Copies of this chain bind each other. A is one copy, B any other.
């Protein structure tokens, strides 16, 4: 049987490969809006069906949001948490990446420090946080340090896997052409680690935020974690969700207006997936 694949007109061929697809006419922004609307709809229906204090409807959460937003309280706590999250994130990514890349590239060091890594990976957040507070006092530095220490081993593990898969051919090329260490790092090593950085930072920021909640619960007097715990004692789920969603909204904004454009730019060299 002959197979006659007629591939449209000349106009089709001029279309960029990435633009075509199931929803070719729908812009990416619109997809996101539809997606969020879908999520809201599911939640609303579920809340109405459940009809329980434990799953409030969107308006109830909105009300809780406005109550605390009107007094500025919500923004204050959100800002405090964000400050801690950002500080700990930067610390953890920098330290964790450096260690991870070194371990991934050096078998002996890795063999030696692997047990330490597994230890630090598995120390409960509670233990680290309490020890940090006890040793360094109930202050901001202890809080941020404790969060970072919790996250560092995860970054190390992810980047170490990345460093293990570094392309040997390119490394050799860089060596033969006498690339300086900086040049090699910037142009050869880091671009290869991009997906690992992406994974480590996306999972990282969420992990850090979750640990920040515990840190605030155990020994800070402000922040979203502090508030959530307060409302948890009162079993006020609507307020808990209001704070959670405020944070999620911040994350979505960062994702769509900072991370995704940056990522699209830094991976524009990748061959597009075949769609035969």
Contacts and interface: CB of A to CB of B under 8 A. Distances in A.
A187 interface: no
Nearest to A232: B126
A124 B244 contact: yes
Nearest to A213: B124
Interface in A52-102: 52, 54-55
A48 interface: no
B21 A107 contact: yes
Contacts of A118: 248, 251-252, 255
A177 interface: no
| Copies of this chain, whole number | 2
A130 interface: yes
Given A123-B248, A124-B210, A115 B32 contact: yes
Given A119-B248, A121-B206, A32 B114 contact: yes
Interface residues of A, number: 81
B198 A135 contact: no
Contact of A124 (B114, B121, B166, B228): B228
16 contacts: A31-B111, A31-B112, A118-B251, A118-B255, A122-B209, A124-B225, A126-B228, A126-B232, A126-B240, A131-B237, A153-B203, A157-B199, A158-B158, A164-B267, A171-B273, A207-B207
Given A158-B199, A165-B195, A168-B273, 5 more contacts: A55-B131, A122-B244, A122-B247, A126-B228, A157-B202
